[in-house]
Amino acid sequence: MYLATLNVSHFRNIALADLALSPGINLLVGENGAGKTALLEAIHLLARGRSFRTPQTRQLIRHGEKELLVRGEVASSAMSHKLARSKSSTGVNEARIDGQSVNRQSRYAELLPLQTLLPGIGDLVLDGPAIRREFVDWGLFHVEQSYLATAQRFRKALTQRAAWLKESPTEDFSMDPWVATLAAAGAEISSWRHRFVVALNAQVQQTLVRMRADFSCDLRYHGSGFSEEEALEQLAASFERDKRYATTHVGPHRADVDIRVDGISARAVVSRGQAKLIASAIALGYSAELAARSGAKPVVLLDDFGAELDESHRERFFAELRSLGCQVIATTTDQPEHLVGLSSLDTTRVFHVEHGSVTQNS
Ligand SMILES: Nc1ncnc2c1ncn2[C@@H]1O[C@H](COP(=O)(O)OP(=O)(O)OP(=O)(O)O)[C@@H](O)[C@H]1O
Ligand SMILES: [Mg+2]
């Protein structure tokens, strides 16, 4: 499945743009402020109903206009579907598939799954654990039907326990009314996450080999009990501390995915360019894992990917994207050959973006 056409009107600085996209690699080339990221944002809006830059849709509507419209045709050898979204300045949103109003977001995600690699992708390696937990959870929401319900059950018990710890803590751990739910749901979450990270790690290893990376990288989920008994033991050990601070200190909400490079914690040693490369390999491994489970390859959106990476790493990364067989839509301010390499130029579709207008290289 790939995005065959994209029609954008009144979106940011773009008055009107029509693109016939390649199922392979597409480059949006232009100067700063030309409208390249805006085009990726329009694709994101089509697939997910929102921008990746702002939660305020009104900012997306071109100044002086009343409504934006994004349309796209997704195609595979077996079928094609027309997706459309419009947003008006008065707050009216419309979403259509093949002309029919469809509000179920999951249908858009099925028809146009996306993997976005934005300039801040390196934060996945460099930031605190929350971003990595979220990343793993996002994958699990897609592949495990009951994950969301379990995660919600856990969250609710966590909140209720915090209120209880504040007001009426008992001296006796066995009288704590929330630990049974926390241990059961927590152990389920932990073992799902653990299995997902094991599978993801295998995909990342393969990706790094294909990218001929000059370092090894290992991902491991750690930090909470994998069985109910283990989770209960941890909660019991933390009971006094939990009462003192009226919060639960142990469990999957505090866990992390440990990323090690050549055996050392990545956060402590990698450069910004390496962090970007590692995070991108993880994101590609993640796409490969989701594709293996759901059968759908995502469309990969790369914003300003070349920045911070040297030429040989950029080229190898694009070679890997090519071998994954995903459609790629990437922005660059640079010459196209500097991003994808001369040998790939023939098979890359290049669009020039200038002051909100788009033309295709002939
Ligand atoms: N609602 C809007 N209406 C009109 N123009 C807008 C609106 N919102 C943003 N812009 C302008 O649209 C332009 C497109 O910005 P965009 O981020 O897409 O540029 P870009 O090509 O990605 O540049 P860079 O290479 O710097 O990342 C900017 O000049 C911005 O000021
Ligand atoms: Mg940009």
- Which CATH number fits the domain that encloses residue 207? 1.20.1050.90
Side chain identity, residue 264: I
pLDDT at 211: 82
Confidence band of 295 (pLDDT split at 50, 70, 90):
confident
Question: Within this chain, do residues 143 and 199 fall inside the same structural domain, yes or no?
Answer: yes
The answer on 309 and 256 residing in a single domain is no
- Determine, yes or no, domain membership for 285: no
Reading the block at residue 347, the tokens are: 């098979």
Domain shared by 139 and 76, yes or no:
no
Our answer on whether the CB atom of 84 is closer than 6 Å to any ligand 1 atom is no
Q: How far apart are CA 136 and CA 256, in angstroms?
A: 10
Considering the domain architecture, whether residues 148 and 217 belong to the same structural domain is answered as yes
Same domain for 76 and 53?
yes
Question: Tokens standing for 285?
Answer: 């491994």
pLDDT band of 306, cuts 50, 70, 90: confident
306 lines ligand 1 (CB under 6 A): no
Given a cut of 90, whether residue 253 has pLDDT beyond it is yes
Is residue 206 situated within a structural domain?
A: yes
- Determine the average pLDDT of the residues in 7-18: 98
Hey, what are 112's tokens?
């146009």
pLDDT at 266 over 90: yes
Q: Closest ligand 1 atom, CA of 63? A: 3
Nearest CA owner, ligand 1 atom 14: 35
CA-closest residue to ligand 1 atom 9: 12
What is the extent of the structural domain holding 240? 125-267
Q: Same domain, yes or no, for 245 and 132?
A: yes
Of the candidates 267, 285, 313, which is a domain's last residue? 267
291 in any annotated domain: no
- Verify whether ligand 1 is closer than 6 Å to residue 64 (CB atom): no
Whole-angstrom distance, CA of residue 47 vs CA of residue 298: 11
Give me the number of domains the chain comprises: 2
pTM, 2 dp = 0.88
Q: How far is it, in rounded angstroms, from Cα 17 to Cα 353?
A: 10
**Does residue 130 share a domain with residue 101?**
no
* Residue 34 CA, ligand 2 centroid: distance in Å: 8
For 72, 107, 242, 247, 250, the CA distances from 171, given in Å and listed in that order, are 61, 50, 12, 16, 19
| Ligand 1 in reach of 37 Cβ (< 6 A) | yes
- Nearest atom in ligand 1 to 36's CA: 21
pLDDT of residue 293: 83
Token duo for residue 214: 């000059």
The answer on 263 and 130 residing in a single domain is: yes
In short, whether 38's Cβ falls inside 6 Å of ligand 1 is yes
Say if residue 174 is in the same domain as residue 226. yes
pLDDT surpasses 90 at 83: yes
Confidence bin at 138 (pLDDT 50/70/90): confident
**CA gap 9, 26 in Å, rounded:** 20
Ligand nearest to the CA of 302: 2
Q: Is residue 290 part of a domain?
A: no
Task: Look at residue 288 in the predicted model and tell me its pLDDT.
Answer: 86
Residue nearest to atom 12 of ligand 1 (CA): 13
Distance CA(13)–CA(2), nearest Å, equals 25
Which of 5-14, 18-27, 225-234, 313-322 has the least mean pLDDT? Answer: 313-322
241 and 348 part of one domain? no
| Residues whose Cβ atom is located within 5 A of ion ligand 2 | 37
CATH code, domain with 333:
3.40.50.300
Would residue 47 count as lying in a domain? yes
Q: Which ligand is nearest to the CA of 59?
A: 1
* Tokens of residue 147, six digits: 């994950």
Let me know whether 98 and 62 are in one domain: yes
Helices (H), the chain: 36-48, 105-111, 123-126, 129-143, 147-167, 179-210, 228-237, 239-245, 266-269, 272-294, 311-324, 336-340
Is residue 44 located within the same domain as residue 76?
yes
Region of poorest pLDDT, from 117-126, 159-168, 245-254, 334-343? 334-343
| Confidence at residue 189, expressed as pLDDT on a 0 to 100 scale | 96
Give domain status of residue 275, yes or no: no
186 Cα–ligand 2 center, Å: 40
Query: Could you tell me the distance, in angstroms and rounded to a whole number, from the CA of residue 73 to the centre of ligand 1?
Result: 24
Which residue in this structure is represented by tokens 């796409």?
Answer: 287
Is residue 273 domain-resident?
no
Which pLDDT band holds residue 163 (cuts at 50, 70, 90)? very high
